[in-house]
């Protein structure tokens, strides 16, 4: 078991007080498009797409560039002058076969990290996935410092990305934060009865976007793995690191939104593990303070 984070010791110069320049790969995808819409006022965005076919919905939020992740020289040019790279681009299907995954998720991810380091970017925020740990049994809540256990080849590629992030952060000078993203869905989806299978992996649009903003803005971490889920009562992954390291305060809870779970009133019936149950301790006689009348003369 290894530490899930390291603190920066030798930092590149902090940027001047201005909007950070952020290069977003996979910018036309679901996460990228939401990020652009809700964070373009916060950052100066350059949006990288593989094809302009779906780029019309994001063009208003910053310049759109078309490039292939296999083209390392092009990526180096795009990374020049950028503060942060938000790397979202990937083949994201858990049933995907090796060939497409190799090109996009392995070679492409390698090139993004190398290009960011060559261009002296401050940080890469890497979109990892819950699939990096989906091989664990469902009765275990996964901690950020647990060994990876992918349940499919897609998850294997995300483990590679996390390893690449740690390598670049510890053996080179590029800071990297990996966010293991759960089921990224609008809050309305959690309110559907048939959405119950998402109860332990749900992350709302706004909660994940808040977490990505925190990952970009942080100046303290050199490397970290954090879990990107909402404040659900039965989370598959522990979000403690995200809260403690980055100040993450998720606003949504699948348990409070889903009608089937709301009927159960789980806030009253099921207590969180961290809450004391009110039972007397077995060593209560040893730890309770002496009363005044029981003290010896």
* 252 close to 230: Cβ distance less than 8 angstroms: yes
pLDDT at 287: 42
Express each pLDDT in 24-64 by its tens digit: 999 999 999 999 999 999 999 999 999 888 789 999 999 99
pLDDT at 10: 58
Is residue 7 a part of any domain in this protein? Answer: no
Confidence of residue 266 (pLDDT cuts 50, 70, 90): low
Is residue 2 a part of any domain in this protein? Answer: no
Confidence of residue 17 (pLDDT cuts 50, 70, 90): low
Domains in the chain, number = 1
Is residue 279 a part of any domain in this protein? Answer: no
- For residue 107, the enclosing domain spans 17-274
Q: Average per-residue pLDDT in the chain?
A: 89
Is it the case that residue 284 has pLDDT exceeding 60? no
Confidence of residue 6 (pLDDT cuts 50, 70, 90): confident
Is it the case that residue 283 has pLDDT exceeding 50? no
Is residue 269 a part of any domain in this protein? Answer: yes
Question: Running DSSP on this structure, what letter comes out for residue 103?
Answer: I
Is residue 167 a part of any domain in this protein? Answer: yes
CA angle 245, 180, 192 (to 5 degrees): 110
Average pLDDT over residues 243-258: 95
pLDDT at 3: 76
Is residue 282 a part of any domain in this protein? Answer: no
CATH number of the domain where residue 253 is located: 3.40.50.720
Q: Quick one: angle between helices 108-118 and 72-79, nearest 10?
A: 40
pLDDT at 265: 66
Is it the case that residue 144 has pLDDT exceeding 60? yes
Query: Is this structure's pTM higher than 0.85?
Result: yes
Q: Minimal CA–CA distance to 123: which of 149, 68, 169, 84?
A: 84
Q: 44: which residues sit within 8 A by CB, 6+ positions away?
A: 19, 20, 21, 22, 62
Is residue 179 a part of any domain in this protein? Answer: yes
Is residue 291 a part of any domain in this protein? Answer: no
């Amino acid at each position: 078991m290894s530490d899930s984070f390291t603190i920066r010791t030798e930092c590149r110069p902090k940027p001047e007080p201005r909007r950070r320049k952020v290069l977003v790969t996979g910018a036309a995808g679901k996460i990228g498009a939401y990020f652009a819409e809700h964070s373009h006022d916060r950052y100066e965005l350059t949006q990288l797409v593989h094809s302009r076919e779906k780029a019309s919905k994001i063009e208003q939020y910053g310049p759109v560039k078309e490039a292939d992740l296999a083209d390392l020289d092009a990526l180096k040019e795009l990374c020049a002058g950028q503060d942060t790279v938000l790397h979202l681009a990937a083949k994201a299907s858990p049933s995907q076969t090796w060939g497409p995954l190799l090109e996009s998720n392995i070679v492409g991810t390698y090139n993004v990290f190398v290009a960011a380091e060559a261009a002296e970017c401050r940080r890469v925020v890497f979109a990892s996935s819950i699939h990096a740990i989906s091989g664990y049994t469902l009765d275990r809540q996964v901690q950020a410092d647990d060994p990876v256990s992918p349940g499919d080849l897609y998850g294997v590629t995300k483990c590679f990305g996390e390893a690449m992030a740690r390598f670049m952060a510890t053996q080179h000078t590029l800071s990297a934060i990996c966010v293991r993203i759960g089921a990224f869905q609008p809050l309305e989806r959690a309110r559907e009865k048939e959405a119950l299978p998402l109860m332990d992996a749900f992350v709302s649009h706004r909660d994940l976007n808040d977490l990505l903003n925190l990952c970009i803005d942080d100046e303290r971490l050199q490397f970290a793995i954090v879990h990107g889920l909402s404040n659900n009562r039965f989370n598959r992954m522990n979000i403690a690191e995200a809260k403690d390291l980055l100040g993450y305060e998720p606003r949504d809870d699948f348990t409070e939104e889903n009608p089937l779970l709301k009927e159960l009133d789980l806030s009253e019936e099921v207590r969180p593990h961290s809450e004391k149950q009110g039972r007397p301790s077995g060593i209560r006689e040893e730890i309770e303070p002496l009363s005044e009348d029981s003290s010896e003369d």
